[in-house]
Amino acid sequence: MPTTFQLNGKPTSFDGDPDTPLLWVLRDHLKLTGTKYGCGIAQCGACTVHLDGRNRRSCVTPVGTVAGRHVTTIEGATGKTAEAVKAAWVAIDVPQCGFCQSGQVMSAIGLLAAKPKPSDEDIDHGMAGNICRCASYVRIRQAIHDAAGMVEKTA
């Protein structure tokens, strides 16, 4: 029986092994390649998506477990907070190689949804699961603070 779920606001179904990690369903079957593979064991966060609005590592999430739920990927990340995060990322040139940044952006959106005015410690905690091998962390931190400010201004 196919697994059906909401993907970026639209009903979606996957007719395959329900143990297939959501990551590979998104990338190989639904052709949404913004979500990246980096480790496969929930260590790097490159595959971060939102499941019912909360950060989730899609590489260790069997697609069967998202049946009936809402999945948001970087391609579907919209709304005030998401737009602020992306704008903040671009404004100070956060990305270097860029491969981890979809996951960083998704984690940052998730963090701000829970903590609209995060402290440095909140950022340390909220972004701990996302590795950037280019070490763009100084700018990630700054961009999260900047995005929080943007959201507050438009509130």
Partner 1 sequence: MNHITTRRDFLATSGLVIGLALPAGKAAARAAGVATPKPFAPNAFVRIMPDDTVTVIIKHIEMGQGPTTGLTTIVADELDADWGQMRVAFAPANDPLYKNLSFGTMGTGGSTAMNNSWMQLRNAGAAARAMLAQAAANRWKVPVAEVKVSKGVVSHGAHHARFGELVADAALLPVPEKPTLKTPEQWTLIGTDVPRVDSLIKSNGAAQFTLDVDLPGMVTSVILHPPAFGGTVASVDDAAALAIPGVVAVKTIPQGVLVYGKDTYAALQGRKALKVQWDLSKAETRSSETMIAAYKAAAATPGVKAEVNGDAAAALAGAAKTIEATFVFPYLAHAPMEPMDAVIAPRDGGADFYCGSQFQVGDCAAVAKVLGVPFPGVTLHEQYAGGSFGRRATPDMGFAVEAASAVKALGGKTPVKHMWTRETDILGGRYRPLMVNRMRGGVDAAGKIVALDSVVAGQSFMIGTMFYNPSKGYDDAMTEGLTESSYGFPNLHVGVHALPNGVPTLWWRSVGNTHTAYAMETFLDRLLELGGQDRIAGRLALMKDERGKAVLRRVAELAGGLEAQAGRARGVAFHKSFGSYVAQIAEVSQGAGGVPRVHKVWAAADVGVAINPNIVRAQIEGGIGFGLGHALYSEITLGEGGMVEQSNFDRYRSLRIAEMPAVEVAIIKSGEKPTGIGEPGLPPAAPAVANAWRKLTGKVVDRLPFIHAENTGATA
Q: Which stretch binds partner 1 (CB under 8 A): 1-9, 50-58, 85-93, 110-118?
A: 85-93
Choosing from 50, 102, 111, 151, the residue that interacts with partner 1 (CB under 8 A) is 102
Q: Is 48 helix (H, G, I), strand (E, B) or coil?
A: strand
Report, in Å, the least distance between residue 28 CB and partner 1: 4
Q: Is 20 helix (H, G, I), strand (E, B) or coil?
A: coil
For residue 118, the cross-strand partners are: none
Q: Does 58 bind partner 1 (CB under 8 A)?
A: no
Q: Which stretch binds partner 1 (CB under 8 A): 1-9, 32-40, 50-58, 147-155?
A: 32-40
DSSP 8-state code for residue 76: G
Q: Is 38 helix (H, G, I), strand (E, B) or coil?
A: coil
Choosing from 5, 8, 30, 46, the residue that interacts with partner 1 (CB under 8 A) is 46
Q: Does 10 bind partner 1 (CB under 8 A)?
A: no
Tell the burial category of 39 from Cβ atoms under 10 Å away from its Cβ (0-12, 13-18, 19+). middle
Choosing from 71, 84, 111, 140, the residue that interacts with partner 1 (CB under 8 A) is 140
**The two structure tokens encoding residue 4:** 């059906």
For residue 152, the cross-strand partners are: none
> Quick check: 20 and 62 in contact, CB under 8 A?
yes
Nearer to partner 1, 80 or 133 (CB): 133
Residues 6+ apart with CB under 8 A from 16: 25, 29, 63
Residues near partner 1, by CB under 8 A? 17, 20-21, 24, 27-29, 31, 33-41, 43-44, 46, 73-75, 77, 86, 89-90, 93-102, 105, 123-125, 127-128, 130-141
